């Protein structure tokens, strides 16, 4: 099967051979160029096709990536072939690109960052703190630190809306979440109205859930509808779409389908 997109198949053909190597399965991927004018971005194109072949290998159930050898078969009018076939040479700074892509990618592992250090991260501190501890069953241990961050006022209104909606989606059904919100509201009066609105929504959600108790499909549907409602509200409030998708766990297709 080809890995070429339909719109460029008139200009290129490709062949993918599988082979056995000393280290396991591998592939040789050959692109045959039919254009008389060579493509200056062929190296990057070959890299994309190679990763597509790797993805297909994983989709077939394999656990490790295969070696894919990209190769260009060129018979154009201009000789010799005029461009580099190292995709890193396509960057403005190839040396810097080699430094970046030849080593492990940068990692921010918030799970190992001490809370005291997170508290110094200003505007992103609240989101980092909540995401670090979001899988705890009881968030009461976060009350004091979260209140301190709210009082400092580093987060803007959009970030606060995103944070509170995130907490509601992730912990709204847990037994002590209402108490957690009330304790935060008591310490941060300027956000009390918004926080108590969340408490009211939890109570209303509890009443709806009580009516549906024992009907698992209905419960799941209710959670899905609540997530969609929150997502649309956040979008209307101007929160970035990528942030909404991350917080609600919904896909872009689910949000669009609900609108229609």
180: left (phi over 0), alpha (psi -120 to 50) or beta: alpha
Task: Tell me how far CA of residue 58 lies from CA of 14, 44, 122, in angstroms.
Answer: 20, 21, 40
pLDDT at 14: 67
CB 44 within 8 A of CB 3: no
pLDDT per position as a tens digit, 162-213:
787 788 788 877 778 778 888 888 888 887 777 777 666 655 655 555 554 4
pLDDT at 76: 83
H runs (alpha helix) in 65-124: 94-101, 115-118
pTM higher than 0.85, yes or no? Answer: no
Residues with pLDDT less than 50, the chain? 8, 10, 212-219
pLDDT at 1: 55
pLDDT at 181: 82
pLDDT per position as a tens digit, 166-178:
887 888 777 787 7
């Amino acid at each position: 099967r080809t890995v070429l997109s339909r719109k460029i198949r008139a200009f290129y053909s490709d062949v993918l051979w599988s082979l056995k190597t000393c280290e396991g399965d591998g592939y040789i991927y050959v692109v045959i160029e039919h254009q008389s004018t060579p493509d200056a971005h062929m190296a990057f194109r070959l890299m994309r096709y190679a990763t597509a072949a790797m993805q297909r290998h994983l989709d077939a159930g394999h656990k490790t990536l295969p070696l894919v050898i990209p190769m260009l078969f060129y018979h154009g009018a201009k000789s010799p072939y005029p461009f580099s076939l190292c995709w890193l040479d396509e960057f403005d700074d190839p040396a810097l690109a080699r430094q970046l892509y030849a080593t492990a990618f940068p990692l921010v592992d918030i799970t190992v960052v001490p809370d005291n250090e997170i508290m110094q991260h200003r505007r992103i501190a609240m989101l980092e703190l909540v995401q670090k501890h979001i899988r705890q069953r009881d968030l009461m241990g976060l009350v004091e630190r979260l209140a301190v961050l709210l009082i400092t006022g580093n987060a803007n209104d959009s970030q606060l809306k995103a944070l509170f909606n995130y907490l509601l989606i992730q912990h709204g059904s847990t037994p002590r979440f209402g108490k957690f919100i009330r304790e935060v509201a008591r310490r941060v009066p300027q956000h009390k109205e918004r926080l108590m609105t969340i408490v009211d929504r939890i109570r209303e959600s509890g009443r709806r859930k009580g009516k549906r108790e024992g009907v698992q499909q209905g419960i799941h549907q209710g959670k899905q509808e609540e997530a969609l409602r929150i997502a649309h509200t956040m979008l209307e409030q101007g929160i970035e779409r990528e942030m909404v998708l991350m917080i609600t766990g919904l896909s872009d297709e689910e949000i669009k389908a609900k609108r229609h």
